[in-house]
Amino acid sequence: MALQHLPAPIRERLLIEIYQQANDMDWEFLSNAEKTNQYRRWIEDPKVGGVLLAYGPEKDARVWIKDVPMKEYARAQEGIGSYVRYAVNRFQGPEEIVRAACGSGWVIKPDSVGEKPNHCYAVAGEATRYICWGRAANFRDLIWAALNEAIDSTERPAIVITTRNGETVSTAERTRQDRLALRCGADLRYLHREIVPNPDYLGVTDGSRSQLQPTLLD
């Protein structure tokens, strides 16, 4: 992909700006049309497109915004990946998922967090369980991952469907998901999570956008 030669401080400034804006506009609740619109707006935005276009043509700039920061945005909110420190707010992390899936007494197995779908292993004594989680819309991927895991493991895998504020799952959908999970031999839990200020945030959080300064990496 072009634009990879973006100087590091500029790249960082762009990431902070884009993530900040995405946070302000509740990116996860925009329709596809609204997201497309926003990509166009970012190109017009002097603070984003105005900077990016100095390093490549518009087409590449648009692709960069879409494929680099925004592709990682949801993962960053989960606390996963290398873009976590740009997310203004995020969820607490996999510990919360493990608690919801297995209750107390289980802890997350070190370095076991992975993605596609988001998953980890939880351990209690000798036992190890596979847990995957995601939004209801990604249930198909979750069930497939759990099913594959169930075949290889003696412990029952768990699926956690997460909702956030502004998000709800209908009773009919839940009933369906419950039956599917039962059939596949997986435990299914629902977890409503609050998004909290990101403890690893890199930008300035004094509430004033205009004072946003790029923080240089060491």
Partner 1 sequence: MTASQYINVTPHPRILGVLGDIEFSHWQCLAELIDNSFDEFQAAAGTVDRPSVAISLPPANSQRATAEIKVQDNGRGMSLEAVTNAISAGWTSNGRHGSLGLFGMGFNISTARLGRRTTVRTSRAGDPDWIEVTLDLARIANSSEYQAPYRLTPKANRDEHGTTVTISELKQEQYATLCRPQTQTVIREKLGDVYSYLLAEKGFLLTLNGKKVRPRLPCVWDEKRTVTRQGVEIHAVQRIDRVLSTKNACMACGYWSTADAEHCEECGQDRLELRERRIWGWIGIQRYLHRTDYGLDFLRNGRKIMLKDKRAFHWEDEDGIAEPELEYPIDSGAVQMGRIVGEIHCDHVTPNYQKTAFEFDTAEWRQVLREVRGTSPLRPKIAKNLGLPENRSPLALLYAGFRRQDPGLNYLIPGDGRNALHETAVKWAGLMRKGGYEYQTDEVWYRAAHQHDNPIAVDPQPENDDILPGFGAGLLDLDDEPEDGAAPGATGMTAGGQEPPEGEVAPAETLDQRLQRYRDNADPIVDLTGPYYLEELGRVDLTAWAVRGQNLVTKDERPAPAIVSMVRAPHLDVFVDTGHPLFREHGADLRDLALVEVAEFMRVRANIVSMPLSEIVAQLKSHTSSPRLTPAATAEESERLLEQVRMAMVAPVSANPAVHWLLLTKDERADAERRFAVEAGGTSPWNDAISSGEFIRYVPASAVIRIIQDSPETFLDGCVFKRGYIALSDPGARALVVERLINPLGDLALLEQHRPRLDVEELSRIRISCRLIARDLADNT
Binding segment for partner 1 among 41-49, 140-148, 150-158, 209-217 (CB under 8 A)?
41-49
**Is 168 among the residues that bind partner 1 (CB under 8 A)?**
yes
**Is 53 among the residues that bind partner 1 (CB under 8 A)?**
yes
Judged on CB neighbours under 10 Å (0-12, 13-18, 19+), 165 is exposed
**Is 194 among the residues that bind partner 1 (CB under 8 A)?**
yes
Q: Which of 37, 71, 205, 209 binds partner 1 (CB under 8 A)?
A: 37
105 or 114: CB nearest partner 1: 105
Residue ranges in 55-84 that form contacts with partner 1 under rule CB under 8 A? 58
**Is 170 among the residues that bind partner 1 (CB under 8 A)?**
yes
Binding segment for partner 1 among 6-14, 36-44, 110-118, 125-133 (CB under 8 A)?
36-44
10 or 30: CB nearest partner 1: 30
42-51 long-range CB contacts below 8 Å, 24 or more apart? 42/18, 47/17, 48/14, 48/17, 48/18, 48/21, 51/10, 51/13, 51/14
User: Which residues form the interface with partner 1 (CB under 8 A)?
Assistant: 26, 29-31, 34, 37-38, 41, 44-45, 53, 58, 99-100, 165-168, 170-172, 175, 189, 191-192, 194-196
